[in-house]
Amino acid sequence: MAEEPAGERDLVVGDAFGGLSVPWQLTTREAMQLVDRALADDGVYAVNLIDHPPLGFVRAELATLREVFGSVVLLARAPVLAGEDGGNLVAVASQRPLPADAIAEALTDRDLAWQVAEGDELDRFVGDAAVLTDDFAPVDQLLTPYGQP
């Protein structure tokens, strides 16, 4: 990402995990700053995430995204948002406000049982999760494998 020209990408997609192996180098504030640098002013970063309760990794990654981007929404099934289940989730981030209602409508139109969390709901979900940095990114300790307490 450091070699990407600044401000030229309308969309960057993050999908770099294998099973429950997540390259921590792609999760940090510094990595997100490189993504943001590559994006146009109204560009969007969409990232596929995975975790299971207590969802420590996802919460930390969302805290990290929110530190870099002006607008962040989370797409997930209701049991995941309630902290009762895990699996794949999608975070969407931009410096510009994101159309959360339009995203939610598109999910419904496709008969997906996913919801969009933003604002106060996302605040509650993230809680006091720490921001991941190049100096502090314990992704392997935060990520909970399926079936683990």
**Residue entry with tokens 């940095």:** 133
Q: Which domains does the chain have, with CATH numbers?
A: 9-127 (3.40.50.150)
Collect all residues with Cβ–Cβ distance below 8 Å to 34 and sequence separation of at least 6: 1, 2, 4
CA distance 73 to 91: 6
Render pLDDT for 66-122 as a digit per residue (tens, 0 to 9): 999 999 999 999 999 999 999 999 999 999 999 999 999 999 999 999 999 999 999
Render pLDDT for 25-37 as a digit per residue (tens, 0 to 9): 999 999 999 999 9
Q: Is the pLDDT of residue 22 over 90?
A: no
**pTM score, two decimals?**
0.94
Share of the chain above pLDDT 90, in %: 85
